[in-house]
Amino acid sequence: MSTSPKPSRAGYWLAAAIVIAATGWMMSASLEPADNAEPLPSRLTSTEPSSLATVAVATPESRMVNRTIDLSAHSEPNRTVMLKSEIRARVLKLHKRRGELVQAGDLLVTLDSRDWPDRVSQAKANLHQREIEQKSVLALRKRGLANESAEAQAATAVANANADLKNAELQLEATKIRAPFDGVLNDRLVEVGDFLQDGAAVAEILDLDPLVISAQLPEQHLRHAKTGMIASARFADGQEAEGRIRYLSRAANEATRTFRIELEVPNPGQRELSSGTTAKLMIPLGEQLLHHVSPALLVLDDAGRMGLKAINEQQQVIFLPVELAGADQSGAWLSGVPSDARVITRGQGYVEPGETVTLARDEPETGSVVANGDQ
């Protein structure tokens, strides 16, 4: 312990950073007063002066609040598919307009079937002939007039004819491009008369019910989010929707060290909410006791943790690790502060944890713990 203590500069730098950040809401957590919550009055403690270092202490204003983790997010489709042509053919007819709702199986685009109907008929006739031939061979085989090789050849001919028929039917069916699921025909990339190659993009279908709200969750909040829990989203136009967290990545993004999180919200009829809109994803943390202090009182310990200097019942200096929950123009809201904490408001820069101190007298009482004089 130093015999000639000097004011700590860490508190000044930390306070300056917090004051700058407090022009908006700091971090990602927001605060709402809990029902019937009333600020608890601060208490000022004093005692007779002595030869020990003198500090002033007070108990910060406290309040029960409903906390949420607020994340910048955007909406996404539940599913997206780009339909593509499976054959080379010309577009004959368009059955749906862009933006229309579609149901699974709805016909979207008809392609020129060319000679595929004739090929199907030919394949059916060929299969019928091969089946008759196979029956004849089997009959001869029973009478001992055909060998095993002839029987195998007849079976192979039937199998090949059946495969040719299936292929022809698939090619004919490929001229009818249909919706794979209920959704919205978001885009159509062809017009009547276009000649399509194999794999050419035809139309994009979006499934918007449920709608997905995705965001990146900072690693310090990972423990607060669980799949299946209820959360909500607020959109840029003021609409709000409630849903469940359906996905939380277990691997962080290597660049941002954040975790992808997805909330799904109902969107009946796929009309009310759209994909690609800005939103705020709000994860509830429940009621929590927060304390209000001046940012100038916040210090860092040797491990880099943010906290406050306070005194215990033996009037020894202690370090209280805290978490910054939010801020307003008059100070910072902290979690992790005991309800009966006696925070040092003056002289903290001259004392270190473990020191025994004496308490100042006649300090003014205040609703929020502020810094008084030198730190």
DSSP 3-20: SS----SHHHHHHHHHHH
Task: Identify the burial level of 297 via C-beta atoms within 10 angstroms of its C-beta, where 0-12 means exposed, 13-18 middle and 19 or more buried.
Answer: buried
Question: pLDDT digits over 283-318, tens only?
Answer: 998 888 999 999 999 999 999 999 999 999 999 999
Question: pLDDT digits over 214-259, tens only?
Answer: 999 999 899 999 999 999 999 999 999 999 999 999 999 999 999 9
Mean pLDDT of 198-218: 97
What is the sign of the dihedral through the CA atoms of 227, 230, 231 and 232? positive
Q: Distance between CA atoms of 326 and 106, rounded to whole angstroms?
A: 52
- Give CA angle at 57 (52, 61), nearest 5°: 170
Task: Identify the burial level of 41 via C-beta atoms within 10 angstroms of its C-beta, where 0-12 means exposed, 13-18 middle and 19 or more buried.
Answer: exposed
User: On the CB side of 361, how many CA atoms lie within 13 Å of its CA?
Assistant: 4
206, 207, 202: which is closest to 189 by C-alpha? 202
Question: pLDDT digits over 147-178, tens only?
Answer: 999 999 999 999 999 999 999 999 999 999 99
Mean pLDDT of 133-157: 92
Q: Distance between CA atoms of 65 and 61, rounded to whole angstroms?
A: 13
The number of angstroms, rounded, from the C-alpha of 51 to the middle of its chain's C-alpha atoms is 57
Cβ atoms of residues 218 and 261 within 8 Å? no
Cβ atoms of residues 113 and 172 within 8 Å? yes
Share of the chain above pLDDT 90, in %: 70
pTM: 0.68
Q: Distance between CA atoms of 359 and 44, rounded to whole angstroms?
A: 10
Question: pLDDT digits over 3-41, tens only?
Answer: 444 444 455 445 545 544 444 444 445 555 555 544 444
Question: pLDDT digits over 214-225, tens only?
Answer: 999 999 899 999
Calculate the alpha carbon distances from 161 to 122, 192, 229, 369 in Å: 10, 35, 56, 89
